[in-house]
Every structure is written in structure tokens, then in C-alpha cells.
A and B are shown apart, each in its own frame.
Chain A
Amino acid sequence: MRNISPVWKGLLLLVIAGAIGYGIGLGLDALISGALNTSGPVGAAFAILFAVTAFFFGIYGYRGITRGLVYQVVGTLLGALLITGIRALMGLDNIFGVYLFSEPAWVVGALVGVVSFLFGVGVVHDWVQWSRGIDTPEHHADEPGWEKYFGVSLDHKVIGIQYTITALVLIAIGGTFAMIFRTELAASQLQFLTTELRLFNQTGPQIYNTLMSLHGIIMIISILLGISGIMNYAVPFLVGAQDMAFPRLNAFAYWVSVPASVLMLLSLVLGGFDTGWTGYPPLSARAPVGMQMFFLGVFTAGWSSILGSLNVIATVVRLRAKGMSAMRLPILVWASVATSIIALTATQLIGLSFQLVMFQRLFGMPFFDAARGGNPVLFQHLFWFYSHPAVYVFVLPGLGVISELLPVFVRKPLFGYRWVAMSSLGIALVGFTVWAHHMFTSGMNEYLRVPFMYSTLLVAVPTGVKFFSWVATMWGGKIETPTPMLFVLGAIIVFLMGGLTGPPNAAIALDLHLHDTYWVVGHFHDTIFGGFVFPFFAAIYYWFPKATGRRMNEFWGKVHFWMMTPSFFVLTLGMMLIGLRGMRRRIVDYDPALGFDFAQLIMTIGGYLIALSVLIFIINLFHSIKHGEKAEGNLWNSRSPEWQVPSPMPVHNYDVPFEVVGEPYDYGLKDSKYVEFSPNGQKHIEFTTEPEVQPHRH
């Protein structure tokens, strides 16, 4: 076993453990229901839990993430058994059900599982010690090499990469789901997701609904983790800090996202759910147990967002280098703060809205049950109070990346620094006042419509500021186009499309027609690709050398870009086109008489090409870690402090601290300087709870 690579070992164990888990689940199910349901939920649920755990065991052994997963599996089973036992003692019938455990048992089990994971992976260890009055060393030395990414690390750069990789894994999973249902859409009528199909207790169309819903939420979580990746990796070194303000909280925020992802996968097999990512009641009040796993998964992932943003704000407020005044902060830092303000506060309301539905299901509390005095529209208000601002959470860091990289590649100062810095905050704040533009057709009070229309249109103003700044920055510049810059340019164009397709939705009269059509699907894919996906790729190509000391392959980077961008236009323009003609969203089939077949086929091909290009990217990424061209210096000729030190960066970022002495983006101006490295530049920061703890190891 010693000589085969850990990945193969992991895959081998994945298959074996998956089979064993499947067998155990099938056996238990047969024991209780008396019938052998080979395509049922129970076998699949056990298979997933066992397989994921075994995969990491093969790669990394029994520690870190593996131990977390083992704890999660055991915790889930124990929690579920406990509730099952209590229910048996209470003399309830239906102790077991088609999903093996009853719904309350699954919910409590899942919750216990998440908490167990956190103990298992070890991320709460120090806090437990502190509360017992025991000091722990300030820094735990990380393992060398790739292994540190599989266990708890307190280093913001490691955590940033953990976030990024997890985001890419989720993008791959969510993308695979999309490919499956896109294939079904390629032609009218049902081809393989037929009504006869039975998988995890779902028919083909139900599987479609579940995959569509999971695609949405898994992508959203991957975006939240992706922006956390960028912010965690970059913000501390951009402001000149040695780490985040609360390194343990930082690790905690990352690690809760792992059990959350497991819950998302469980929801697929536990009957799924057919509400879309929005989870509106009354449908969500009666969907299968999978609905609860979805709610719990989002709730858990929400804590990642909340605690991560708390950390970002505290870091920027408290740990800036000397001379880094508000108006000299990098734009990406401003964008991160704006994002974090939204995520810190609004996230609680999606959590609450989901929690209320969970309780309605578990205890019959009639919050959203109109028949018993509840109000389903209330759910939509609570939900969108987060979920509209959330779209700015998705895009603000990406827009920050655009403003950050653009001056580097056009060799000119960023146009209108102050306005751009303030526009992020402006978008974030106005973004809080527009949520009901998602509800024009919901039956809410009509007098609410017009104010929400105007507030929505108002957001276009600060967004426009960014566009003017980008265009003016490029104007007359010497534009270079290495891969990161290609993605920056792509981002600007795609986001423009997204931005332009927004106001029609906000115009009430138009939206009554557009709502719930593929037009909206086209709109938000444009905003999200322009505001997150393209800048995320740009950021990875740009900072990859910083993390590894090597650069990603340019040729394959360009192939990635030139394959993805046109395919993406085909896909989303197609969406808008058929949407305007009346194609409803979230539906498995359409009438051949509508004449959408050809467009749908082309869009499906576009979708496949995007998937292929992302695959190329992922291969390029992992290949370049070892085999990429060496790039240890200031590869992009940037003024930013992180590029003035060798790559990869030392553990605490700057061995010699810097002081800010000029403007950040004065590219091309003679004798202008942004930072100066000197021993008295940075205030001395050690992360201790107790002042006299030993100095840290470098």
C-alpha cells in the first residue's frame, strides 16, 4: 500500500466503503421495511457517508478531516437512534419510515453530526481548553506540504486555499448536476428522467427538481466559500497583517462548511426536494426529509459566512499596517468589508426563515400555514431580506478583484479611487432596501411595488460608478492580456450583460411577464459569472504564483478562457431568448410546439463546453502546482506589498513589516511609491489571549 499514490488509495477505499455502506443500509432497510429497495434512499445514504469518509481516510489517514467525518457519521447515527429510542418509549407509531429514521430523528441526528464533526476535526480543541483554564500554544506548526490542507490550520493563507479548493469541489458537483438536467432539457419530452424511473424514492421529474434545486444551492454555497477563499487569502496580506484577527474562529468558519456540504449530499438521496433553492412554503412544508437536510445544510453553511465576515471586518479595522488609512486601502479590501457587512447581518434572516419552516414541519407551528392563520408571504420577505443582499455578497469581492487587477495590467492609475471605494459600500447599503423586487407577483401588498422598483433601479447608480471607473482606467492604457487579465475583461463584459438585464426585471409591468421565466435565469447567470466566476478565475490565475512559486500554464489558461466565454454567451443568450418567448424556469419538460428544441440543444452543447473548459482549468491547476514554470518574483510587476516579497510567502506574511507611504494604484507615475519595508513599519502583533505567551515560530 505504501507506494500507490494517496489519491488512488482514497478512490479505492471510496469504492469499497461505498459498497459496504450500501450493503449495510440495504440490510437495515430490508430488516425494517421487509422489502429490498435497491434504488432506495437508505442504501444510498449509508453509501455516501461511508464513501466520503473512506476517501479521506485513504488520502490522509485517521486524523483531521477524516476524524471529523467519522465523528459526523457516528454522531448522526447516535443522534438519530436517540430520538428513535425516545419516540419508541413515548409509544409513537411510525418509529421508522422509508428513510429508515423518522424525520425528527434525521434532523437531530444531522445536527449532532455537525457538532460532532467540529469536535472530531479538532477545531474547537483550543476553546475547550481555554474554558477549562488551560493555555494552549499560540500557533500550531503546520505539517509541511499538501497534508496541512486536510487538517486544522490557523494560517489564513492555508485556510484561504482550503476554502478555494472546497469551492472548486462544490462547483464540480453542482456543475455535474447541471449537466445531468441540461441533458434532459436538450430535447422536448422526457428522455431519461422519465416518470417510470425510481431513484432514491423519486421519479425522473422529481430527480430533475432535486438536481435543479441542489445545483442552485450548491453553487451558491460554493460562491460563498469562493469569496471567503479570496478574502481570507488576500485581505490579511493586503492590509499588512500577519494573520486574521481571530485565527481560530477563522478555522472554525471554514470547517463548518464541510459537514454542511455532506448534509447537502444527503438531501439528494433522502427523498430530495423540489422547491428550488428558495425553499418557499407551502411546498417546502411538505417536501420529503431531503428538505430538512437542505435547510440544515444552508443553516450550517450560513455560520461559515457570518463568522468569516466578522473576522474580515475585525481584521481590517484593527490590524492595518502603519499609514494604511481608509483612503489608501486596496479596493479589494473595501469590497470585502462591504460584503462582510451584508453577510454578517442579513445571513441570520435566511437562517431564521429556514428554521421557522423546519419548526413548522417538526412541531406543526403554523408560521406559514395560511389555513391556520400563518402567512406564506412572510417567508418570502424574510428569505429575500437576505437573499437579495446575498447577490451582492456574491459579486462585490469579484468586482473588487476587477478593480484590483485592472490597473496592474493597463499600467495606469485606477480611475476615481474614492468613488470606487465608496460604491461598494453604497451597493451594500442600498442592496438592503430592494428585496421585494423578487415578490412582485407574490400577492404582497400592492403599494409596496413601486418603492421597491425605484430602490432597485437606484442600485444601478453605484454599479455604474464601477463601470465608468473600469472604462476610464483602460482608456489609453497599454493593455497586456495574460490569462488573469483576459478573465478580468471577460468579467466586465459579462457583468455588463447581467447588469443591463436587471432593470427590466425591476420594472413592475415587465416583470409580471418575465418573472419565473428563463429570462431571469439568464439574467442571474450573467451577473454571477461576471461578478464571481470570471473574477474568481482571474484571482486564481493571478495569485497562484504567490501561493506556489510557480505559474499556471498560459496556453491552457487561454484555452480555458476562449472556450468558456463564447459558450457561456450562447448559453445565457439562449436562456434569455427562450425566456422572453415564454419558457418557464424550473421545469423538466416543455411543449415541442413552442419550438424551443433547437435553442435548447445548442444551449446544452454550450453547457458541455463550459464544463470541459472548467475541467481543463482544474487539470491545469493541479498540474502546475508541481510542474508549472517557476515564478518566485514580482511576476505581474505589481505595486501591491505581497508581490514585493518572495513567493510562496513566509508563514506570517512579512518578515520585515511595511509602511504605506503613497497611493495604491499610481501605476506609471514616476517616483510614486505605495509601500516601504522597514522594521518599524508595522505595529507588532502577536495573536495571543494571554500577553506573555512565547513568541511564535517562523
Chain B
Amino acid sequence: MGTMVHTHDNKSMLSQGILIFIYLAILTALEFFVAITFNSVVLLVVVALVKAALVIYYYMHVYKLNLESEVDDASYDFKAGTNRLGLWLFLISDAFVFAGLMVVRINLLGLSRPELNQTLGLAVTTVLLVSSFFMNRGETLMRNGDRQGFLKNIALTFILGLGFLLGVVLVEWRLAIHEGITPSGSTAGAAFFMMTGMHAFHVFTGLILLAIVWINGRRGLYDVKSYPVEAAAVYWHFVDVVWIFFYPALYLIGTAVH
């Protein structure tokens, strides 16, 4: 696969990334609007599913998973294909942790939720969403052969991701504790800290991957062989997908109890 062959493709990939981001932003706004007006659980679930599907298809490009072995097994593409399958299997496994946490939350809290700072919730959600956009852009540029653009976008992703992490752990957690929502105080507090904590841990590992990819990108390690970039991107979007479900589960669904 030559570097330039896909240039044209990747031009349209760039605009596709923008379009998907706009959809996601609108859906997030819609979600928030639904929550503060007629608060329909069904609708919130549907919106979350649509958002997740968009990210999984367009940003994580799940369609690249190809189970059929291509002919040339010694090729980089073949190995990247195997690695891709491995990563997806890992994500499926990981998803069971988050699904389990969701079950815990539903079982313990039902249609109540902790009373959290809505502005902050929306803010960190937006930051993570925007980071996903830049991640996608960076990945596409790399495939396009534009290393500088790639590095710039990865750096932006990293900064936004760090912003999300600090926003949750330093600001949101502190505010919650200040409001009396503590890990040991109630099941709502326990569920909140456990879910955001597990997610934050994944964001943290994602940041490490981003840092590795950025540093190695600066060293000029990737060109055609950019699977590590794709892997970091897919993992980063996965963390975003988790938040697409956790955000409504913790901030929007049901009624806030104190």
C-alpha cells in the first residue's frame, strides 16, 4: 500500500470526520435537552445507542475487521489485520467490565441518581467528545502522509483527554465530596466513584498510549506502518463510547436524590 494512493480517499475521510462530529454534538445537546425537559429514559437510551453506533462505525471503523485471511500472510496488512482482531477481542472483554458496572448501578440505584453538577458534567463530556474528533483527524492525516498535522492533532487529543481526566478526578470528585456524595456515604456515591474511577483509569491508560504514539511519531516511526496509531485511536474512541453510556447513566437518567 503506497502512502499516496489513499490521499483522495482520506480527503473525504476528513470531511466525514467533521460531519460525524457535528452529528455527535447535536445528539449530545438533544440528550441534555431531553433530560432537563421530559426526561424519557427510552429516548436517552436510544440517543446513547445512536451515538455509540456512530463512533464505533465511523471513528473506530469496525468495518475494517476482516476475518478472512488475505492471501499474502507475510505482509504488514495481514499482521495489522491480526492485531486489529486482537484489539477488538480485548475491547469486547473490557466492555464486560463496564456492562457489569452498569448492572451494579441499575440494581442499586434504579431510576435515581446522585445529585451532581450538571454544568461540569456537560463540560467534561464535551471535552471528551472533541478529543475524539481530533483523534480521528490525527489518524486520518497520518494515513494521508501528513505527519505534522498528525502530531498536532494527537497533541490536542492528549491535552483534551488530560483535561477530561483532571476535570473528573480533581474537580468533579472534589465537588461531589463537598456536596456529601462520598464513596462510603451511600450506594449512589459508591456507584458514582466506582464508575467514574474505572473510566478514569482507562482514560489514563489511553493517555499513555497517546503519549507513546506522539513521541514515536515525532521520531518518524510511522508511515505506511501506522497500525499503532490506529490502535491508539480505536482504544481512545472506545473510552469515549463507554462515557457515552456512563454520562446519561450518572447525570441524566431518572431523578436526583441527595
Max chain B C-beta neighbours (<10 A), residue from A306, A351, A352, A367? A352
Inter-chain contact A314/B85, CB cutoff 8 Å: yes
Inter-chain contact B190/A320, CB cutoff 8 Å: no
Inter-chain contact A349/B96, CB cutoff 8 Å: yes
In angstroms, Cα B189 to Cα A131, docked, is 37
Q: List residues of chain B with CB within 8 A of the CB of A313.
A: 85, 89
Give the secondary structure class of A's interface.
helix
The answer to the question of B81 belonging to the interface, with a C-beta cut-off of 8 Å to chain A, is yes
The answer to the question of B22 belonging to the interface, with a C-beta cut-off of 8 Å to chain A, is no
Contact with B along A343-383 (1 / 0, CB 8 A): 01111110111001001000111110000111100100110
Inter-chain contact B184/A363, CB cutoff 8 Å: yes
The answer to the question of A478 belonging to the interface, with a C-beta cut-off of 8 Å to chain B, is no
Inter-chain contact A349/B73, CB cutoff 8 Å: no
User: Assuming the A-B contacts A348-B93, A356-B104, are A249 and B187 also in contact, with contact meaning beta carbons closer than 8 angstroms in the complex?
Assistant: no
Q: Looking at the complex, which of B156-164, B215-223, B234-242 is the stretch in contact with chain A?
A: B215-223
Q: List residues of chain B with CB within 8 A of the CB of A320.
A: 69
In angstroms, Cα B92 to Cα A310, docked, is 10
The answer to the question of B174 belonging to the interface, with a C-beta cut-off of 8 Å to chain A, is no
Contact with B along A654-698 (1 / 0, CB 8 A): 000000000000000000000000000001111111110000000
Inter-chain contact B92/A318, CB cutoff 8 Å: no
The answer to the question of A245 belonging to the interface, with a C-beta cut-off of 8 Å to chain B, is yes
Instruction: Give the Cβ gap from A349 to chain B, nearest Cβ, in Å.
Output: 5
The answer to the question of A133 belonging to the interface, with a C-beta cut-off of 8 Å to chain B, is yes
Q: List residues of chain A with CB within 8 A of the CB of B212.
A: 131
Closest A residue to B89 by CB, please name it.
A310
The answer to the question of A36 belonging to the interface, with a C-beta cut-off of 8 Å to chain B, is no
User: Assuming the A-B contacts A133-B216, A373-B108, are A363 and B183 also in contact, with contact meaning beta carbons closer than 8 angstroms in the complex?
Assistant: yes
The answer to the question of B107 belonging to the interface, with a C-beta cut-off of 8 Å to chain A, is yes
Inter-chain contact A685/B74, CB cutoff 8 Å: yes
Q: List residues of chain B with CB within 8 A of the CB of A353.
A: 100
The answer to the question of A317 belonging to the interface, with a C-beta cut-off of 8 Å to chain B, is yes
Question: Looking at the complex, which one of B69, B94, B193, B216 makes contact with A683 (CB distance below 8 Å)?
Answer: B69
Inter-chain contact B85/A317, CB cutoff 8 Å: yes
Q: List residues of chain A with CB within 8 A of the CB of B73.
A: 683-685
User: Assuming the A-B contacts A317-B85, A320-B69, A359-B194, are A310 and B90 also in contact, with contact meaning beta carbons closer than 8 angstroms in the complex?
Assistant: yes
In angstroms, Cα B76 to Cα A344, docked, is 26
Inter-chain contact A345/B96, CB cutoff 8 Å: yes
Inter-chain contact A352/B97, CB cutoff 8 Å: yes
Inter-chain contact A314/B89, CB cutoff 8 Å: yes
In angstroms, Cα B4 to Cα A210, docked, is 65
The answer to the question of A617 belonging to the interface, with a C-beta cut-off of 8 Å to chain B, is no
The answer to the question of B5 belonging to the interface, with a C-beta cut-off of 8 Å to chain A, is no
Question: Looking at the complex, which one of B85, B96, B183, B186 makes contact with A318 (CB distance below 8 Å)?
Answer: B85
The answer to the question of A596 belonging to the interface, with a C-beta cut-off of 8 Å to chain B, is no
Question: Looking at the complex, which one of A378, A381, A691 makes contact with B75 (CB distance below 8 Å)?
Answer: A691
Inter-chain contact B82/A245, CB cutoff 8 Å: yes
Contact with B along A300-316 (1 / 0, CB 8 A): 00000010001101100
Inter-chain contact B93/A310, CB cutoff 8 Å: yes
Instruction: Give the Cβ gap from B89 to chain A, nearest Cβ, in Å.
Output: 5
The number of residue pairs between A and B whose CB atoms lie closer than 8 Å in the complex comes to 121
Q: List residues of chain A with CB within 8 A of the CB of B85.
A: 245, 313-314, 317-318
Q: List residues of chain A with CB within 8 A of the CB of B186.
A: 366, 372-373
Q: List residues of chain B with CB within 8 A of the CB of A690.
A: 76, 225
The answer to the question of B180 belonging to the interface, with a C-beta cut-off of 8 Å to chain A, is no
In angstroms, Cα B71 to Cα A133, docked, is 29
Inter-chain contact A364/B187, CB cutoff 8 Å: no
Inter-chain contact B193/A365, CB cutoff 8 Å: yes
Q: List residues of chain B with CB within 8 A of the CB of A310.
A: 86, 89-90, 93
The answer to the question of B103 belonging to the interface, with a C-beta cut-off of 8 Å to chain A, is yes
Which A residues between 225 and 269 are near B, CB-CB below 8 angstroms? 245-246, 249
Max chain B C-beta neighbours (<10 A), residue from A131, A375, A686, A687? A131
Question: Looking at the complex, which one of A133, A317, A688, A691 makes contact with B215 (CB distance below 8 Å)?
Answer: A133
The answer to the question of B101 belonging to the interface, with a C-beta cut-off of 8 Å to chain A, is yes
Instruction: Give the Cβ gap from B223 to chain A, nearest Cβ, in Å.
Output: 12
Contact with B along A318-354 (1 / 0, CB 8 A): 1110000000000000000000000011111101110
The answer to the question of B79 belonging to the interface, with a C-beta cut-off of 8 Å to chain A, is yes
Inter-chain contact B184/A364, CB cutoff 8 Å: yes
Q: List residues of chain A with CB within 8 A of the CB of B79.
A: 687-689, 691
The answer to the question of B36 belonging to the interface, with a C-beta cut-off of 8 Å to chain A, is no
In angstroms, Cα B100 to Cα A367, docked, is 13
Inter-chain contact B89/A365, CB cutoff 8 Å: no
Inter-chain contact A366/B86, CB cutoff 8 Å: no
Inter-chain contact A348/B89, CB cutoff 8 Å: no
Question: Looking at the complex, which one of B76, B96, B194 makes contact with A346 (CB distance below 8 Å)?
Answer: B96
In angstroms, Cα B16 to Cα A445, docked, is 49
Inter-chain contact B221/A348, CB cutoff 8 Å: no
Can you list the 4 inter-chain pairs with the closest CB atoms, starting with the nearest?
A364-B184, A365-B190, A348-B96, A683-B73
24 A-B pairs whose Cβ atoms sit less than 8 Å apart in the complex: A311-B86, A314-B85, A317-B85, A318-B69, A318-B85, A319-B69, A320-B69, A346-B96, A347-B93, A351-B97, A363-B183, A363-B184, A367-B194, A372-B187, A373-B187, A378-B108, A381-B103, A381-B107, A382-B103, A382-B104, A683-B73, A684-B73, A688-B79, A689-B83
